């Protein structure tokens, strides 16, 4: 009879934008170093515990959580004592990254339009896609750019709410939107899984750096296939990157404006 071991319960809110296999790999590593049996819950409806529900940490349903930095900061601001930041952050591969625990927002267009649009300012009066109004990479980073240019959401003729980064990439490919800013790791994962689209997406700019998702530990060789090059020590000050962005855009919001 197999001797019972303690369980290690994890939940991710970051898939399918990030491959669920990434979190399975991290959990396998944690099983190896803790001697516990790991179980992973996959929640794709939200990017973190919903505000109107008791979170799985307070209700003792999960030991480890992978969520967006926006949801983590909201829970920390609310004084949630059940959520503590792990002291390590993932380092993702990106041409702009220099070994920091950050990621970027890649501004993408359909490659068939790359001769017409060289920068985001070339897309005035066109349709922007974004995942939701609280998304750091797809909405807040764009608003930050617009404010620095002395513009607002009326820069675009219309906006389209996709609900996910994968949906956002697909909306650029099928021509529903003209431009979108997407999580650079979601883009990498999508193109890895769909190599037939590598030449169909063109990156015209990258906003950031943005603070990495609150996750921990490393298993470098296996994690490399998910664009993770390692983990480094971090603390809550890393998320000042997001706080400064949100503070900087002030009351600027993304809304539909028709020309």
Series of mean pLDDT values for 10-residue runs along the chain (259 residues): 75 92 90 90 94 93 91 92 82 90 95 95 96 92 95 95 93 97 94 95 96 54 67 83 90 67
pLDDT at 183: 95
**Positive or negative: CA dihedral 206, 25, 68, 12:** positive
Query: What pLDDT score was predicted for residue 194?
Result: 95
- pLDDT given for residue 178 in this prediction: 98
pLDDT on residue 239: 87
Q: Say what the pLDDT of residue 218 is.
A: 30
If one counts every other C-beta atom within 10 angstroms of the C-beta of residue 232, the result is 16
Give me the numbers of helices (H) and strands (E) for the chain, helices first please. Answer: 7, 10
Distance of CA 248 to the CA centre of its chain: 20
Q: How many CB atoms lie within 10 A of CB 198?
A: 11
Which domains, from first to last, does the chain contain? 7-87+214-221+230-236 (no CATH), 102-210+243-249 (3.40.190.10)
Burial class (CB in 10 A: 0-12, 13-18, 19+), 150: exposed
Q: Which two tokens stand for residue 191?
A: 């193109």
Q: Distance between CA 184 and CA 193 in Å, rounded? A: 14
CB 169 within 8 A of CB 201: yes
Any alpha helices (H) in 85-164, and if so which ranges?
141-148
Question: Which H/E stretch holds residue 40?
Answer: strand 37-42
Name the percent of the chain in helix, strand, coil, to the closest 5. Answer: 35, 25, 40
Report how far apart, in Å, the C-alpha atoms of 218 and of each of 9, 18, 133, 159, 236 are: 18, 17, 32, 38, 19
Q: What pLDDT score was predicted for residue 43?
A: 95
Torsion sign, CA atoms 16, 198, 200, 135:
positive
**Residue pointed to by tokens 């319960």:** 9
pLDDT of residue 4: 64
């Amino acid at each position: 009879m197999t001797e019972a071991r303690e369980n290690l319960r994890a939940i991710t809110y970051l898939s399918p934008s990030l491959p669920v296999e990434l979190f399975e790999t991290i959990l396998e590593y944690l099983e190896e170093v803790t001697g516990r049996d790991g179980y992973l819950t996959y929640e794709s409806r939200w990017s973190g515990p919903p505000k109107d529900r008791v979170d799985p940490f307070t209700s003792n349903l999960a030991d480890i959580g992978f969520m967006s930095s926006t949801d983590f900061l909201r829970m920390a601001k609310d004084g949630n004592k059940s959520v503590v930041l792990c002291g390590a952050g993932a380092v993702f591969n990106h041409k702009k990254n220099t070994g920091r625990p950050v990621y970027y927002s890649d501004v993408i267009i359909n490659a068939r339009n790359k001769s017409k649009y060289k920068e985001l300012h070339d897309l005035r009066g066109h349709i922007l896609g974004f995942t939701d109004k609280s998304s750091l990479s797809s909405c807040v980073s764009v608003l930050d750019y617009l404010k620095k240019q002395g513009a607002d959401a009326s820069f675009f003729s219309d906006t389209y709410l996709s609900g996910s980064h994968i949906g956002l990439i697909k909306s650029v490919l099928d021509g529903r939107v003209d431009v979108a800013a997407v999580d650079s790791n979601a883009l990498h994962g999508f193109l890895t899984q769909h190599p037939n689209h590598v030449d169909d997406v063109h990156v015209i700019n990258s906003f950031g750096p943005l603070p990495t998702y609150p996750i921990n530990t490393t298993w470098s060789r296996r994690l490399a296939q998910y664009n993770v090059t390692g983990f480094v020590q971090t603390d809550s000050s890393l998320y000042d990157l997001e706080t400064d962005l949100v503070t900087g855009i002030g009351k600027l919001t993304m809304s539909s404006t028709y020309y």
